[in-house]
Amino acid sequence: MGPRYIKGDGRFYSFNVMDLFSHRVYIGAQRTKDDRQIASSLMRCWKTLGMPDFLKLDNELSFRGSNLYPRSFGRVIRLCLFYGVTPVFIPIGEPWRNGVIESFNDTYNRKFFRRQWFPSYAALKRQSKNFQRFHNKHHRYSCLKGKTPTEFVQEANFEPITLAPNTKLPQLDYVPDGEIVLLRFIRSDQKLDIFGEKFKVSKDLIYSYVKAVIATNMHALQIYSNDQLVETFEYRLTAPNETEYHLGLSMS
């Protein structure tokens, strides 16, 4: 979320992640929303909360990569595939599909950022971690039967698989094998939007939600309706050279 501003010390973004099983959160302040910083924050999150099976995302450009090279994918998607995590992109323009983290972002804004004065970015980063620990230890959720995230994890005897503390961000100059999932609503024009590219689907899918799966190892785009495979498109991946890749990372 952001940008937010610290008087006299510039802008920052807050990288907020919630584990939907336990409602534990990870909070990481960063100066930009460049996808290298986001990937680095994601690595730190996985060292703390553990590795998920799925990562639910909105359609922010930093998460998906590049409008210029939509099939090359950015560092965030590549990192997920490298570690066997399936990125899931919610329908375009429907933020309520990620309502749990949106609700936490509101809590962060009201109960943390707007309630304190931060003399510096460094101070904000320290206090962010304090708020993270306070939330996980003290915030009670009705969906957890009144338990805090920490209590819920302890009572469930849940031990997440975490990345080793010294794990470095991999280079990833290729697209690993795996699946990328996009949930999309099909309107009357029959167009399916895949990171800005349009694919025309069957008229039977008009006014319905579909699950589009990019299978990177097969270079295929598979369309599912009600868990049934209904269409398949060829989807050849591209591998831009280093110059093209950095051009594709330009932020608006």
Are 124 and 197 in the same domain? Answer: no
Per-residue confidence (pLDDT) for residue 242, from 0 to 100? 39
Instruction: Look up the CATH number of the domain holding residue 52.
Output: 3.30.420.10
Cα 157-159-165 angle, rounded to 5 deg: 155
Are 33 and 146 in the same domain? Answer: yes
Per-residue confidence (pLDDT) for residue 247, from 0 to 100? 36
**3 cis-preceded (ω within 30 degrees of 0):** yes
**What is the number of structural domains in the chain?**
2
Are 140 and 193 in the same domain? Answer: no
Are 206 and 147 in the same domain? Answer: no
Long-range CB contacts (< 8 A, 24+ apart) of 189-192?
A: 192/223
Domain contains 248: no
Are 220 and 141 in the same domain? Answer: no
Per-residue confidence (pLDDT) for residue 238, from 0 to 100? 85
Domain contains 194: yes
Low-confidence stretches of the chain (pLDDT < 70) are 240-252
Per-residue confidence (pLDDT) for residue 152, from 0 to 100? 97
Are 123 and 47 in the same domain? Answer: yes
Q: Which residues contact 203 (CB under 8 A, 6 or more apart)?
A: 190
**Distance in Å from the first CA to the final CA of the chain:** 15
Left, alpha or beta for 133 (phi > 0: left; psi -120 to 50: alpha)? Answer: alpha
Are 149 and 47 in the same domain? Answer: yes
| DSSP strand pairing (86-89 vs 220-225) | unpaired
Residues in the chain: 252
Could you tell me the pTM of the whole model?
0.90
Structural domain harbouring 23: 4-155
